[in-house]
Amino acid sequence: MIAQHENAGFCFVAGNPAYLAPEEKQLDTQSRLVDLVKGAKDRVEAAPVFIGAEGQSELTSELASRYDAIPFMLLDGSIQSRISELKSTVDNGIGVYCPYLLSSATNEDRIRLLGLYALRRRWVRESLRKIGIRTNDIRAQISEGQRIDESARGILNDALQALALCDEHDFQDRLTKLASAGAKYAAFLPATESVQEHERLRQLISDSAA
């Protein structure tokens, strides 16, 4: 694929424990990342290599320096400060993973399509536990399309404002701030596969470029 497409590359990310089999959880994440990055660069030196930096910032800096790899971070409320901390040790730029939902503005749709993504974050689960709500209950309610508790909706909606691009009005401003902090790449993932969603993103990026 890389031989056929000049813009192809690699992205190696440590799996979220919520999606790993028991035997996968026993693997040494750091040694696996080192092997994968080294192997990719040995075989296809010119291809860009992105590395998930979550929980691996020290190793990511080392691999970025040694192999010209590109740290890859998840969008959240602290992303600008985290980029600033890392960019002094990185020459190739930094990438940011940006889930988005732009064609629908309702809070219910955001929770239905992105609520499970928000629940991957420990701080979101802890916020729910503080008000006496179990994560498993909320996860089941979202999966089954049930209406969830109002206080839980508030926590999830606040979290999604930081974890995803859900507001057309501040889309350009958030991208500008990411770029100013030192981000060079953005990977956009739609919360739902629809022509409208892709088209709205295309329009907003076009407007930003203009």
Q: What is the 3-state secondary structure (H, E, C) of 160-195?
A: HHHHCECCHHHHHHHHHHHHHHCEEEEEEEECCCCH
Are 93 and 114 in the same domain?
Answer: no
Tell me whether residue 3 is in a domain: no
- With contact defined as beta carbons under 8 Å apart, do 60 and 83 qualify? no
Are 26 and 77 in the same domain?
Answer: yes
Are 119 and 44 in the same domain?
Answer: no
Are 20 and 92 in the same domain?
Answer: yes
- Select from 1, 21, 17, 20 the least CA-distant residue to 9: 1
Domain of residue 150 covers: 107-163
pLDDT of amino acid 29:
85
* Other Cβ atoms within 10 Å of 138 Cβ, number: 25
- Select from 9, 11, 191 the least CA-distant residue to 101: 191
Are 33 and 69 in the same domain?
Answer: yes
Are 25 and 93 in the same domain?
Answer: yes
CA 185, CA 193: separation in Å to the nearest integer? 22
Are 85 and 175 in the same domain?
Answer: yes
* Other Cβ atoms within 10 Å of 22 Cβ, number: 6
Are 22 and 81 in the same domain?
Answer: yes
Are 80 and 124 in the same domain?
Answer: no
pLDDT of amino acid 210:
60
What is the value of pTM for the model shown?
Answer: 0.85
Question: Average pLDDT of the chain?
Answer: 89
DSSP label of 47: S
Tell me whether residue 2 is in a domain: no
- Select from 113, 83, 82 the least CA-distant residue to 100: 113
Tell me whether residue 93 is in a domain: yes
Low-confidence ranges of the chain (pLDDT < 50): none
Name the 3-class secondary structure at 35.
helix
Q: What is the residue whose two structure tokens read 């020290």?
A: 58
CA 174, CA 113: separation in Å to the nearest integer? 21
pLDDT of amino acid 93:
87
Are 84 and 19 in the same domain?
Answer: yes
Tell me whether residue 15 is in a domain: yes
Are 116 and 23 in the same domain?
Answer: no
Task: Provide the domain count of the chain.
Answer: 2
- With contact defined as beta carbons under 8 Å apart, do 137 and 114 qualify? no
From the centroid of its chain, how far is CA 189? 9
